Chains A and B, each alone.
Chain A
Amino acid sequence: MIEVKVLGPGCKNCQTTHKLIEDVTSENGIKISLDKVEDMAEIMSYGIMSTPGVIVDGKIAHAGGIPDKKTILSWFKSSCCPADDNCC
């Protein structure tokens, strides 16, 4: 299970990003646990200042603006097993 967090104080762009990640992962059968982080101290603990930010397995995947679908998909390609060709 890949852990994904959307960082942001709950504005429109953060909600859109949250929904996009949901859509892209379910369309491609990628299993993730998706969380929203609205606490400032936690957001800043990742060193992110432009929201929405996206954290994939503890690493910064995105900061500021809405990511496009292709970019979202690319986050999950690198975070799973390279040996398994059918993986994503």
Chain B
Amino acid sequence: MFNRLADFIVFELLGLQADTSVAQSLHFFVMDITKIFFMLILVIYLMGLFRSFVSAEKVRNYVQGKKEWVARSLAILLGAVTPFCSCSSVPLFIGFVEAGIPLGVTFSFLIASPMINEIAVVMLFGIVGWKITLLYIFSGMVVAFVGGIIIQKFKPERWVEDYVWKIRMGEAQALEQDNSLQARHRYALTEVKTIVGRIWKWVILGVGAGALFHGYFPQEWASNLGDTNNFLAVPLAVIMGVPLYSNAVGVIPLAEAMLLKGVAIGTTLAFMMSIAAISLPELIILRKVIKWQALALFTTIVTLSIILVGWFLNSIL
């Protein structure tokens, strides 16, 4: 459908020849923009509906007192379906601690939340296809799962700021809620407006960059760069990625360019994960609830887990 639309606009409306670089770039751009916006609106809307049923407070109550692996899996799923707003990570952290949920489980949530989100998934799916998207989601979950377990082994409780332990969650009566489907529909629609309103420029910019690579990238480069896939490529990519901070939208065209250059999938996905998972703004916000030792531990463990996953993917693909 999107392909036909792009055919129509580029070849018939603009009358461009199919074999030129301009036409190829433009065709890619029109097809991807329409496809990605269509999917973004659909997915954000559905996630909005879903979130109107499942709140963080409900999940907290549900995770509380569950077996650790169940709690961890739930926390990661929650992290994947909540949009990452770093300002919510502090109240969430405190809420989890107060509920007696092990810190390692909370860290699993904190790792998964920025890495796996609907926007990254839609962009990846639109640009590099469903196989790599699934691989990305799965790798992100593995890093969150394993990372949380390792962090737990270091007993990070001793590095939680004292005031966090003193906070007691109260319970206030809820105002009569409008639980009709209409109200949920309005909530989901507001989500779409807010999120798309915030990211549309970046989507156009990102897809535009991708389109340029598509039409103008010389094929010979690929074979030349292919042999950079040695053992050190993954740690180098991850170490470069950690200080970089970008939202999912900005990372994906970069990832596409790397794949086109012949960089291995494991290296590329590790690079993407390292950019998304650890960012200075998030660390600064988390510093409000945990001491720097815990932040250093968090950064180190996540970095190492991502490197391991990258190596693993490279070795099996």
Q: Which residues of A contact B (CB under 8 A)?
A: 8-14, 16, 40-41, 43-51, 55-56, 58-61, 63-68, 70-71, 74-75, 78-79
Please name the residue on chain B nearest to A58 by beta carbon. B172
8 A-B pairs whose Cβ atoms sit less than 8 Å apart in the complex: A11-B86, A13-B87, A16-B194, A44-B170, A51-B88, A51-B91, A59-B172, A65-B191
Closest CB in chain B relative to A87 CB, distance in Å: 16
B277 — which chain A residues lie within 8 A by C-beta? none
The 3 closest A-B pairs by CB, nearest first: A11-B87, A49-B95, A45-B170
Q: A14-B87, A46-B170, A47-B171 are in contact. Are A64 and B56 (CB under 8 A)?
A: yes
CB closest residue in chain A, given B176:
A78
CB pair A64 B175 closer than 8 Å: no
B187 at the interface (CB under 8 A from A): yes
**Bound CA–CA A44/B171 (angstroms):** 9
Complex CA–CA separation, A43 to B95 (angstroms): 10
B60/A71 in contact, CB under 8 A: no
**What chain B residues lie within 8 Å of A40 (beta carbons)?**
90-91, 94, 167, 288
Q: Which residue on B lies nearest to A53, using beta carbons?
A: B91
Is B174 part of the binding interface, using a Cβ–Cβ cutoff of 8 Å? yes
List residues of chain B with CB within 8 A of the CB of A78. Answer: 175-176
Q: In the assembly, what is the distance between CA of A45 and CA of B189, in Å?
A: 30
Q: In whole angstroms, what is the CA distance A44 to B166 when docked?
A: 11
Interface residues in B70-105 by Cβ distance below 8 A to A read 82, 85-88, 90-92, 94-95, 98
Inter-chain contacts of A63 with B (CB < 8 A)? 55-57
Do A44 and B91 touch across chains, with their CB atoms under 8 A apart? yes
Pairwise interchain contact A68-B178, C-beta atoms closer than 8 A? no
**B175 A49 Cβ-Cβ under 8 A:** no
> Which residues of B sit under 8 angstroms from A71, Cβ to Cβ?
178, 183, 186-187
Secondary structure dominating the interface of A: mixed
- Asked if A9 and B60 make an inter-chain contact with CB atoms under 8 angstroms apart, the answer reads no
Q: Is the CB of B187 within 8 A of A58?
A: no
Is the CB–CB distance between A60 and B190 below 8 Å?
Answer: no
Contact of A60 among B85, B169, B175 (CB under 8 A): B175
Neighbour of B173 across the interface among A10, A41, A51, A58, CB < 8 A: A58
Check if A64 sits within 8 Å of B172, measured CB to CB. no
**A10 proximity list for chain B (CB < 8 A):** 87
Given contacts A48-B91, A49-B95, contact A41 B163 (CB under 8 A): yes
Establish whether residues B175 and A75, one from each chain, have CB atoms under 8 Å apart when the complex forms: yes
Q: Is B168 part of the binding interface, using a Cβ–Cβ cutoff of 8 Å?
A: yes
Q: Distance in Å from the Cβ of B19 to the closest Cβ of chain A?
A: 46
With both chains docked as a complex, state the minimum distance between the C-beta of B29 and any C-beta of chain A, in angstroms: 30
Q: For the complex formed, measure the closest distance between the CB of B163 and the CB atoms of chain A, giving whole angstroms.
A: 7
**A83 CB, nearest partner CB in chain B, Å:** 18
* Nearest-CB residue, chain A, relative to B99: A49
Q: Is the C-beta of B287 less than 8 angstroms from some C-beta in chain A?
A: no
A11 to B87, CA, bound (A): 6
Nearest Cβ on chain A to B184's Cβ, whole angstroms? 10
Alpha-carbon distance between A49 and B60 when the two chains are bound, in angstroms: 9
Given A13-B87, A51-B88: A65 and B190 interface contact (C-beta under 8 Å): yes
Contact B91 A61 (CB under 8 A): no
Apart from A49-B95, A68-B189, what are 14 other A-B pairs with CB-CB below 8 Å? A11-B85, A11-B87, A44-B91, A44-B94, A44-B167, A45-B169, A49-B88, A50-B92, A55-B172, A56-B175, A59-B174, A60-B173, A60-B175, A66-B190
